[in-house]
Chains A and B, each alone.
Chain A
Amino acid sequence: MVSTHTLRAEWLGNVRGDLLSGLVVALALIPEAIAFSIIAGVDPKVGLYASFSIACLTAIFGGRPGMISAATAATAVLMVTLVADHGLQYLFAATVLAGLLQLVAGFLKLGDAMRFVSRSVMTGFVNALAILIFMAQIPELVGVPSLTYVMVALGLAIIYLLPRLTTAIPSPLVAILVVTALAVFFEFDLRTVGDMGALPDSLPIFLLPDVPPTLETLQIILPYSLGIAVVGLLESLMTAQVVDDLTDTGSDKNRECLGQGIANTVTGFFGGMAGCAMIGQSVINVKSGGRTRLSCFFAGVALLFLIVVLGDLVAIIPMAALVAIMIMVSIGTFSWDSIANLKTHPRRSSTVMLVTVVTVVWTHNLAIGVVAGVLLSGIFFAAKVAQLFAVDSDLSEDRRHRTYRIQGQLFFASTGDFAKAFDFREDVDKVTIDVSRSHIWDLSGVGALDRAVLKFRREGTEVEIVGLNEASRTLVGRLGVADEPDVLARMQSH
């Protein structure tokens, strides 16, 4: 049962700050939602409806108060080919399915699996995301009237310089107003948001995606849904961590998975595209004083209100203003520290980060990049742990009996060193292998030990293994010691 106290604190703990920050976020969400719709190749209203619906639903059902979720670049880049090849209705169906997959992930408590995503992979993720957002702006900057560049530059100048004068009003909003006013006043011939497709003129309505309910449809949308679900959860959980750190409060990661799932499932039925949490917007929210669920909820409501009321005005905003804002988002999302850190951080961590970035930029799929990063960091970790392995030996007085003492981690990555440590051709009658100070982690380790015993026997040497019980106690898969509370103490006592 959720206590009324928590409920009140999570919604009404900071009303004034949340309403103000919600408004700032809503104003920033509008250009982003339009821009992300354009990335995905759909009408701006698809992204705007999605942002409204996702923001309100994650505010209610999510696990991280104060985090902003809406239509995002990370998920939008995954939809491009689906929309191009099959059309909008398949996108709605894929959005619903992605939501359902996220719900399953939430029920299976896969949020806990985030711990396998290392810091380097996360840094790679945000850097890749920033690069993707920037790359998505390039079509708007190629083959356009040169006036566009002037307008983008003006927009960026306002965004970055105005906060030095005042932090009371959102500078991106001022940038939009100034650029739009100039374009209208001087009748510049610039592409506008209205040229990019339909804007919402009413509240979203419930509709079933118009796709044939066949297995073939499922085959089409499943790969997209899977990618969207994974990327959505990754960015959401990562953003939750960012907000946790900024506000020094905790969040419920599995509830966040469920919240994202509910939001996407419902959003698909209301004509919206899939989304997830947004790092940049969440930072803006915290910076503007937002802390509770109310901020995200109000951002969604304010967004829809503004867009329905001001729809005609939104249509005349030049794309140049939007591009300026998206460049800002891209710059703000990128982890600039990570470039300076390339020099100081361990080379392997930097490699993981760079591989993640390169894979994403290459495939345009954040999920694949993260998988690559996680795999690589796993391999690096295994390689490192494999070094915690040593063998020494001594010969008895009569030179007839050798004792090998194995120390450290015996598993797939260290079996090579293990095998090399023995001199099978030595002229001794008996060999003792003392494994009591080693840990056998997997079947490869067991196999390596078996093979060593066999080889000695073939040479006619008698073999005795000492301490096998203690060593094999660490066979996690079979005995499940990792779940026992005293496992660490016991391992250290070996």
Chain B
Amino acid sequence: MVAKILGLIDGSQYTASVLDNIAFAAKRLRAEVELIHAIGRRDIGSAPSDMSGSLDLGEREELLKELAAHDEQHARLARKRGRLVLSDAAAKLAADGVETVSHDLVLGDLLEEIERRETGCDLVVLGKRGDAANFAKLHLGSNLERVMRRTSVPVLIAARAFRPIERVLVAYDGGPSISKALDWLRVSPLLKGTRIEVAKATGKSSDAELDRVCKTLKAEGFDARAKLLTGDPDDAVVAECEREAIDLVIVGASGHSSLRRFLVGSTTSEIVRACRRPVLLFR
């Protein structure tokens, strides 16, 4: 079966990087790409508002017409723009050598659309922040948070800029998600030939578990080494990325507790938020 990558684009400043990530992954995985752009919740901030607080004759009908006209205009523009964003993106991927690209404009909730499409999908790629949450805001896009919480396939979260992936850091916490990530890493062609650093934040000077993980990776032909960090796990990982010129961070969505299966660990969120590298997230 052909591998499939689902790319979510919105025409924000992250879109170019998302497409670079997709192109990279598509070539490695020999995958076909499906791009979607969702026009979701309406931008209600721009709706006309009138503080007169009075009710005219036939106010309801009048207001309905007015709001409908406003929405219609915005929806038309949003669709036009969405189609442009998609066709530009598809053209760019084709130029980058991706063979099969399909694209869909989706009206409605992005999450529902992902849930509908994620079966048979191997990787979801999206940007760290969406169109609505601009870079000045330090928090993550709300769609991203929902995708991180709910999506069962691996999620590649693009940073603002893309560079070819050569050095990978695995933020190891011993939880089930990260074990799944390592299993995937061993068999997937995505990161073959990269240098892998398996990092764990402990105070200790050696860690048998980490060595064992590295050994299994080496057996698959990876250039893997263990790295022990000190301090807060999230700060340590972010600092390590800067220091070692890491190109991609692999994290598990949740830590040890099975109760927290439906949540995204705070360490993970913090890494995604603060690290200026793309993050590959596993549930």
Contacts and interface: CB of A to CB of B under 8 A. Distances in A.
A159 B145 CA distance: 46
Interface stretch (B40-48, B211-219, B220-228): B40-48
A242 interface: yes
Given A286-B67, A287-B59, A171 B44 contact: no
B205 interface: no
B61 A337 contact: yes
B51 A328 contact: no
Interface in A165-210: 166-173
Interface stretch (A17-25, A313-321, A375-383): A17-25
Given A9-B41, A242-B60, A283-B63, A162 B51 contact: no
Given A9-B41, A248-B42, A21 B56 contact: no
B41 A170 contact: no
Contacts of B42: 248
A34 B146 CA distance: 45
B52 interface: yes
Interface size band for B: 20 to 34
Contact of B63 (A287, A329, A331, A336): A287
Nearest to A8: B142
A246 B52 contact: no
Interface in B52-76: 52-61, 63-64, 67-68, 71
A89 interface: no
Interface string A140-174: 00000000000000000001101100111111110
B50 A288 contact: yes
Contact of B52 (A5, A8, A163): A163
Contact of B64 (A163, A245, A291, A331): A245
Contact of B57 (A5, A8, A279, A331): A331
Interface string A332-358: 110111000000000000000000000
A247 B71 CA distance: 9
Contact of B53 (A14, A172, A331, A336): A172
A280 interface: yes
B59 A283 contact: yes
Contacts of A9: 41
Contacts of B67: 246-248, 286
A160 B142 contact: no
Identify the 3 closest CB pairs spanning chains A and B, nearest first. Answer: A332-B55, A289-B49, A170-B53
Interface of A: 3, 5, 8-9, 13-14, 16-17, 20-21, 24-25, 27-28, 159-160, 162-163, 166-173, 242, 245-248, 279-280, 283-284, 286-289, 291, 328-329, 331-333, 335-337
